[in-house]
């Protein structure tokens, strides 16, 4: 595993659990709003943290932590992720995986192996808009396959869309409609928060996002959760934190 960072303690990344967050290097998308560029663009990569350092840290925190979140970058691009998750599981941790959904065959294998307890998948836009939003020659079909698989899997999950100025209200509603048609029941709108160096004004208008959320909530189309994150100025957006090896 190419590991670019470790957040030693998080109360927000794994719903209901105290967790550590492992950040992997490498992603096949280039989303314009990405907060974790140090994990996406190879020329920004730092020296990877040795895997045994991470595993040793986790082994020593079993009394404090309940879960481990693996995020990135895109974790499913890591060829040895299954082996890594087995090591983490062997320590007794619950595991959450964050993914962009572009590798359904690998996701299916991990879910089938019983190594994943919770999946958070980005469903970034209506499928027809994936090439714009991801700035990659993206075939969105695998994303739809992943979303459907997760919805049908029976494991805990959430789908989430980062709302930024490049998505219109109609795009969000179209996104939601695609998810509802797949039977997705848990959905979050994440409001883009500007960060240093993002260059253009990507922030959406808060009232519009809140109105969208209210609309989706009142429609009842997502039966478990229809949530909103970062809805007011001053709330905290999780950011990639620099490598911690001690």
Residue ranges that bind ligand SF4, judged by CB under 6 A? 27, 29-31, 34, 36, 40, 72-74, 100
Helix (H, G, I), strand (E, B) or coil at 38: helix
Smaller CB separation from ligand SF4, 65 or 74: 74
Smaller CB separation from ligand SF4, 65 or 77: 77
Smaller CB separation from ligand SF4, 134 or 186: 134
Helix (H, G, I), strand (E, B) or coil at 44: helix
Q: How far apart are CA 61 and CA 58, in angstroms?
A: 5
Tokens of 103: 């590798």
Smaller CB separation from ligand SF4, 145 or 217: 145
Concatenated DSSP letters of 99-119: E-S--HHHHHHHHHTT--SEE
For strands 17-24 and 3-14, give the pairing: antiparallel
For the CB of residue 121, give the shortest distance to ligand SF4 in the complex, in Å.
10
For the CB of residue 126, give the shortest distance to ligand SF4 in the complex, in Å.
16
Smaller CB separation from ligand SF4, 73 or 126: 73
Place of tokens 């027809």: 128
Tokens of 191: 């409001």
For the CB of residue 92, give the shortest distance to ligand SF4 in the complex, in Å.
28
Compute CA distances 94 → 18, 76, 89, 109, 121, whole Å: 10, 18, 7, 17, 17
For the CB of residue 60, give the shortest distance to ligand SF4 in the complex, in Å.
28
Smaller CB separation from ligand SF4, 65 or 147: 147
Tokens of 48: 């990877």
For the CB of residue 189, give the shortest distance to ligand SF4 in the complex, in Å.
15
Helix (H, G, I), strand (E, B) or coil at 11: strand
For the CB of residue 64, give the shortest distance to ligand SF4 in the complex, in Å.
27
Residues 1 and 240: beta-carbon distance below 8 Å:
no
């Amino acid at each position: 595993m190419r590991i670019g960072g470790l957040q030693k303690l998080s109360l927000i990344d794994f719903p209901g659990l105290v967790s550590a967050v492992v950040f992997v290097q490498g992603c096949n998308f280039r989303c314009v709003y990405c907060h974790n560029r140090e994990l996406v663009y190879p020329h920004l990569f730092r020296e990877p943290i040795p895997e045994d350092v991470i595993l040793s840290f986790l082994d020593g925190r079993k009394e404090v932590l309940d879960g481990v979140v693996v995020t990135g970058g895109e974790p499913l691009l890591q060829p040895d992720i299954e082996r890594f998750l087995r090591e983490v599981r062997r320590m007794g941790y619950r595991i959450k995986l964050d993914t962009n959904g572009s590798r359904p065959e690998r996701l299916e294998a991990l879910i089938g192996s019983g190594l994943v307890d919770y999946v958070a998948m980005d469903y970034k836009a209506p499928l027809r808009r994936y090439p714009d939003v991801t700035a990659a020659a993206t075939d969105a079909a695998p994303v739809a396959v992943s979303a459907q698989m997760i919805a049908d899997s029976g494991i805990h999950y959430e789908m989430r869309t980062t709302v930024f100025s490049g998505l219109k209200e109609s795009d969000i509603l179209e996104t939601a409609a695609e998810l509802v048609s797949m039977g997705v029941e848990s959905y979050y709108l994440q409001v883009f928060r500007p960060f240093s160096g993002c260059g253009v004004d990507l922030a959406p208008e808060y009232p519009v996002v809140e109105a969208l959320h209210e609309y989706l909530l009142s429609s009842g189309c997502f039966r478990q959760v229809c949530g909103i994150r970062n809805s007011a100025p001053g709330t905290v957006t999780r950011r990639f934190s620099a490598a911690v090896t001690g």
